[in-house]
Each structure stands twice: as structure tokens, then as C-alpha cells.
Amino acid sequence: MSSLDPAAINPGPLSRFAHRILHTRRRNTPQGSRRNIHEHYNLGNDFYCLWLDPETLLYSCAVFERPDQTLADAQIAKIRRVLEMAGIRPEHHVLEIGCGWGGFAIEAVRLTGCRVTGITISEAQLELAQARVQAAGLADRIELRLLDYRDLDGRYDRIVSIEMLEAVGHEYFECFFRKCTGVLKPEGRLALQVITIPHERYEPYRRSPDWIQKHIFPGGVLPSREILATAMETAGLRIGQADNIGQHYPPTLRAWREQFNAHAADLSRMGFDTTFQRKWNYYFAYCEAGFATGHIDDWLLALVRR
């Protein structure tokens, strides 16, 4: 079925009920999280390398300081802002929850001289991320592990998590922040980048999966800022600084879509047919419209203990 089929976007009552049942089976338990993440990232590292910027391989909103800035430079500008909000210094041991392909960890060490431990539950991501760390000559400063955040131990000066909270799930937001509090040193700080949805739309949204949840990110749930604030406070954290960078997502998404389409022939050779490519074009455009109209936002948050 094409992603542009109206029935896929506006299903009938029976279809909505079936989708709701399926959504409840996508809960982000430790096993469910691995299954959901695998379903999105089993498209392969080569697929993502075609259209993400080759320097950072960051799959998150960039920060464009100039209209003519390249996507790679805009991603590094975002990293600099995260480092500043987190107050990361050379002597710090930084935990990154959801390290992706290692882009943040590599730039953080290059820019500050800190030490980074990164975790992911994607074996494919870990393999490429470790290779990138080795190629950068930073294996003595960066350790990457295949680990669920619920299994974390140790103590860290700073914690960073970039657009990973969307994969945590409604039932586990409080668990996530309690774990962060448990491994964060007393004077530590937590920096988050997170996509949010307005609170008045949160309950109906989380109970009935939308197109993105059904076709792109199984198990994903965008939190509202109010839901996050409650979970943070319960875990003994508060927001010390908040920057809305949602206006930077449309140009980020456009850059991804342009690169994706520039490699249409490569995608076809890799087995991604025209139906798949139309679905992903719709995904990029759907998200771009959501950010451009303010239906969703992207926040950089610095958290400290209450």
C-alpha cells in the first residue's frame, strides 16, 4: 500500500481499533525497545549514510546559524550549543544515551577533550560508530556499548541524550529520568534534545498511533513539555535552561530529502523501490510541515537537580 493512500492517513473505526491494539503491543520494554529500534535501523547503515551528512551522521535537528550554512556545519553548531548548555569541560566523563553513529561523541571529544561513554541498543549503529571512533583516533577517549539505559551503572559528570526520548515511551519517562538521576554526580547536569507535542493533543495522540508511528517509528511517542516536567520533577530534576530550535528542523529535513532524492538510483540498486522512496519522501515532508506550522517543536533542555 502506498503511503499516500488516504485510508492509510484517515482509517475507518475498525482500522483505527486494530492500529490501537498494535500500538499497545509496541510498548518499550527492554525487549520491545530492541525490536522497535531494530525495525527502524535494520534498513542498514549504508541507507542512512546516503542522505545524512557524512561528517557527523547525526539523525536529529541541526542549528543553522546562516542560511547558506552546510548541514554538517549546522550539526556541529548544534553540538556546540549542547556542549555549552551541558557545561562540558575537559575533565568531565560524559554519558551519551542513544549514541547513534558516534557523531556527538567524536565532536564532543574534539571540541572539549572530555571522555565519553555512549550507549545504544542498535547493533548496526554500534558497529559503524565504533569504526568511526577508531578512524578518528579517539578510542582512548570514547567507549561505546550495546546497552539499554535501564541497565546503566557508574557515575557521570554530565549526561547528554539527543532525540532519544521519543523512543522511551509514555510508561517509561519517569524510569528514564530516575535512571539519569541515579548515575549523575551531585553537581552534574543533563542536556536533552527532544521533539515535543502540545500538551492538549498529547493524550489522544499517544492512545492512537499516527502515520509516523505506524510506518516509520514503531513504539515512538513524542512527549509534551508538561509530561516531561512531571517525570523530571518526580526524579528530582528541574529545567535550568530551555531553547526552542524547532524552526531549524524544516531546513534540516529539506536537506535530508534533497540528498535522499539525489541518491534515488542508489536506493533502487540497494532494493528500496519507488513505493518505499515515496513513503520516505512523505515522511520528510510530513515532518517538515509539522515543524513549520508549530504542530510539533524541538527543544534543547539543560536539567539540574532540584
Question: Does 6 have pLDDT greater than 50?
Answer: no
- pLDDT for residue 182 is more than 60: yes
Contacts of 6 (CB under 8 A, 6+ apart): none
Dihedral, CA atoms, 74, 221, 229, 119, nearest 10 degrees? -60
Quote the pLDDT of residue 27: 62
Q: 139-157 burial string, b = 16+ CB within 10 Å, else e?
A: eebbebeebbbeebeeebb
Q: Is the confidence at residue 270, as pLDDT, over 60? A: yes
Flag whether 1 is in a domain. no
pLDDT above 90: residue 13: no
Asked if 247 contacts 74 with a C-beta cutoff of 8 angstroms, the reply is: no
- Domain assignment of residue 54, yes or no: yes
What is the pLDDT of the chain when averaged over all its residues? Answer: 90
Residue 168: is its pLDDT beyond 50?
Answer: yes
pLDDT at 9 over 60: no
Q: What is the pLDDT of residue 215?
A: 87
pLDDT of residue 5: 36
Task: Supply the pLDDT for residue 217.
Answer: 87
Mean pLDDT for 127-144 is 99
Quick check: is 86 in a domain?
yes
CA-to-CA separations, 137 to 4, 160, 294, in angstroms, rounded: 45, 22, 41
Told to judge if 287 belongs to the known catalytic residues of this protein, a careful annotator would answer: yes
Q: Which residues contact 168 (CB under 8 A, 6 or more apart)?
A: 28, 175, 176, 221
How does residue 106 score in pLDDT terms, banded at 50, 70 and 90? Answer: very high
> How many domains does the chain contain in total?
1
Per the listing, cell 520494554 goes with 29
Q: Has residue 228 got a pLDDT over 50?
A: yes
Q: Is residue 199 part of a domain?
A: yes
**Catalytic-labelled residue, pool 61, 99, 180, 287:** 287
Q: Would you give the end-to-end CA distance of the chain in angstroms?
A: 50
The answer to whether residue 126 is domain-embedded is: yes
Residue 208 grid coordinates: 492512537
Q: Is residue 113 a contact partner of residue 120, using CB atoms and an 8 Å limit? A: no
**What is residue 26's predicted lDDT score, i.e. its pLDDT?**
54
Q: How confident is the model at residue 118 (pLDDT cuts 50, 70, 90)?
A: very high
Nearest-angstrom CA–CA distance, 153 and 37: 22
CA atoms of 89 and 296, how far apart (whole Å): 32
- The CATH number that applies at residue 129 is 3.40.50.150
Cβ neighbours for 132, distance < 8 A, ≥ 6 positions apart: 57, 101, 102, 103, 106
pLDDT over 90 for what percent of the chain?
Answer: 81
pLDDT of 19 > 50? The answer is: no
42 in a structural domain? yes
Domain of residue 180, residue span: 6-305
161 part of a folded domain: yes
